[in-house]
Amino acid sequence: MSKSFICLVGAFVLLSCMPLSAQRQAARSGYQFKEVSDIPVTSVKNQANSGTCWCFATLSFLEAELLRQGKTEYDLSEMYAVRNAYYEKGMRYFRFQGKTNFSEGGQAHDVISLIAKYGMMPEQAYTGLQYGKNFHDHSELLPAVKGFIDAINQIKLPTTVWPKAMMSIIETYFGEAPEKFIYEGKEYTPQTFARELGINPDDYVEITSYQAYPFYQQVELEIPDNWMHARYYNVPLEDLMAIINHSLKNGYTVVWDGDVSENGFSHYNGLAILPTAEPKEMSSSDRARFEQLPETEKMNLYSFVAPVPEVQVCDSLRQATFDDRQSTDDHLMHLTGLVEDQYGTLYYKTKNSWGTSRNPLEGYLYMSEPFVRMKTVAILVNKKALPSTIAKKLGIR
């Protein structure tokens, strides 16, 4: 399943008879959570009808990094990065003569690389809304840009101006990027604003965990949305989980890239689990009835009385589900803390980018440790968040 489909909007999430929400649990369920860590982050945003979860998750992470460093709270422009990504993807798609991936999806490193090349803007300077709506809607954008480049690829000797024409299509939807803008009473360019933020691309690393690749080496993760052909550090599963846990317990948040197509993932109920018993999916008639209910009733409709047994996950099981495409990189989110249920199971407090009104946690959900062990495709973290023993094995410090 492609990230471009899953990321579009919360309404496209597969609904199922899955547990409860994670808070207000005393009133509605047998789940009892206690906080382990909760890292300050910025507000939940809404990607709406756009396949841009990769950008929302990573900019949320960078905003949290700035807060961790004691800097002021920023609301960074997702669409400035997306605009630049479309141009870069378009140039690569042309040079590969249409024989490479061109989609809405992306990876966390895209944002880091694009900031290094193009700088950054605050949201107030560049909203990316030029088409008469107050929410993101990219339903026309991808076919318009891809269709144009497909036509150019049919021409034997293209002109030198087609990249400018491609950018004119992109900026028709996003708006022209200003060379200078005023923020907090000071004039910036995207480059000087990025320098003031102090984001250093070398501070961040991406980690994956698959037996198909050699451990403790950098590998090219073979997923369609790795259009930059970036390299990830590959570690065993236990090290991957140790990195995530160590980061969150020491004040560092994590960009999470993984699979949310399982029935155990329920954004509406604020929970993602990996139960040993497969839950029933809704019938088409039940789904239609469910969609007609008020949001408050949706939130209360399905719940288990208490936590249920979950699958025990190992390296070989992860590899098997990756190879048979049960686990694909279809969504990126932001891990911001840890909670524990009454049986000691760890859950990851996760900031989604589907707005605040579609679940009782105001846009957050709790993903269980078994779910994260199975469904994580990759993560992005600050190098300083790595446990020293693992960092040494990777040759990072």
pLDDT of residue 289: 57
pLDDT of residue 363: 96
The region, left, alpha or beta by phi > 0 then psi within -120 to 50, assigned to residue 18 is beta
Residues 367-395 have a mean pLDDT of 98
**Residue 108 pLDDT more than 80?**
yes
- For residues 314, 269, 289 and 287, what is the CA-based torsion angle, rounded to 10 degrees? -20
Q: What are phi and psi of 232, to 5 degrees?
A: -120, 150
- Nearest to residue 83, comparing CAs of 149, 174, 210, 212? 174
Question: What's the pLDDT band for 274 if we cut at 50, 70, 90?
Answer: very high
Task: Say if residues 120 and 80 touch (Cβ distance below 8 Å).
Answer: yes
- For residues 257, 261, 262 and 268, what is the CA-based torsion angle, rounded to 10 degrees? 90
Q: What is the DSSP string of 299-363?
A: HHH---SS---B----HHHHHHHHHTTSS---EEEEEEEEEE-TT--EEEEEE-SB-SSSSTTTT
The alpha carbon dihedral of 345, 350, 354, 357 has a sign of: positive
pLDDT of residue 277: 75
Question: What's the pLDDT band for 157 if we cut at 50, 70, 90?
Answer: very high
Please name every residue paired with 219 in a beta bridge, in sequence order, or none if there are none.
232
Task: Tabulate helix, strand, coil % of the chain (nearest 5).
Answer: 40, 20, 45
Segments making up each domain of the chain, as ranges: 3-394
- According to CATH, the superfamily of the domain at 3-394 is Cysteine proteinases (3.90.70.10)
- Please give the structure tokens belonging to residue 38: 């909760």
pLDDT of residue 263: 83
Select the more confidently predicted residue: 32 or 62.
62
List, in order, residues 6 or more apart from 296 with CB less than 8 Å away: none
Q: What is the DSSP letter of 12?
A: G
**Residue 288 pLDDT more than 90?**
no
Q: Tokens 């193009």 correspond to what residue? A: 118
**16, 69, 120, 280, 396 from 302: Cα distances, Å:** 8, 41, 42, 12, 46
**Residue 298 pLDDT more than 90?**
no
The alpha carbon dihedral of 29, 35, 37, 39 has a sign of: positive
Q: Tokens 């003031």 correspond to what residue? A: 196
- Nearest to residue 111, comparing CAs of 206, 31, 237, 28? 206
